[in-house]
Amino acid sequence: MECIFASDLHGRKERYDALFRSIGEIAPQAVFLGGDLLPRTGDVVLFIEEMMDRIDELRSSSSPCEVYVILGNDDPKQYEGEFIRADREGKIHYAHQRRFELGGYVIRGYSHVPPSPFLLKDWEKYDVSRYVDPGCVPPEEGIFTTDVDRGAIPHTTIKGDLSPLIRDPDMHRTIMLFHAPPYGTSLDMANIGGKMIDHVPLDPHVGSIAIKEFIESASPLLTLHGHIHESATLTGSWREEIGKTTCLSAAYEGKGLALVRFDTEQLGSATRGIIS
Question: Letter for the amino acid at 45?
Answer: V
Judge contact between 100 and 94, C-beta under 8 A: no
Length of the chain: 276
**178-223 pLDDT, tens digit each:** 999 999 999 999 999 889 888 888 999 999 999 999 999 999 999 9
Residue 108: the pLDDT is 98
At position 12, the amino acid (one-letter code) is R
DSSP notation for the chain: -EEEEE---TT-HHHHHHHHHHHHHH--SEEEEES--S-SSS-HHHHHHHHHHHHHHHHTSSS--EEEEE--TTS-GGGHHHHHHHHHTTS-EE-BT-EEEETTEEEEEE--B---SSSB-TTB-BSSSS---TT---GGGSB-SS---GGGGGG-BHHHHHGGGGG-TTGGGEEEEESSPBTTSTT-B-TTTT-EETTEEPPSB-SBHHHHHHHHHH--SEEEE-S-TTHHHHHS-SEEEETTEEEEE----SSSEEEEEEETT-GGG-EEEEE-
**Residue 8 and residue 179: Cα distance in Å, rounded?**
9
Residue 17 makes CB contacts below 8 A (sequence gap 6+) with none
**pLDDT tens digit string along 14-58?**
999 999 999 999 999 999 999 999 999 999 999 999 999 999 988
**In CATH, which superfamily holds the domain spanning 2-275?**
Metallo-dependent phosphatases (3.60.21.10)
pLDDT of residue 58: 83
Could you tell me the pLDDT band of residue 233, with boundaries at 50, 70 and 90? very high
60 pLDDT tier (thresholds 50, 70, 90) = confident
Kindly report, residue by residue over 69-118, the tens digit of the pLDDT: 999 999 999 999 999 999 999 999 999 999 999 999 999 999 999 999 99
Domain boundaries, the chain: 2-275
pLDDT single digits (tens) 122-152 = 999 999 999 999 999 999 999 999 999 999 9
- How far from each other are the two terminal CA atoms of the chain, in whole angstroms? 25
Distance CA 227, CA 206 (A): 10
Predicted confidence (pLDDT) at residue 62 exceeds the cutoff of 80: no
Phi-psi map region of 199: left, alpha, beta (phi>0 left; psi -120 to 50 alpha): left
Of 12, 35, 32, nearest in space to 228 by CA: 35
- Going across the sheet that includes 257-263, the strands are 93-94, 66-70, 30-34, 2-6, 257-263, 271-275
The Cβ of residue 111 has, within 10 Å, a number of other Cβ atoms equal to 26
Global pTM reads 0.97
Residues ≥6 apart with Cβ < 8 Å to 274: 252, 254, 256, 257, 258, 259
Mean pLDDT, rounded, for 239-258: 97
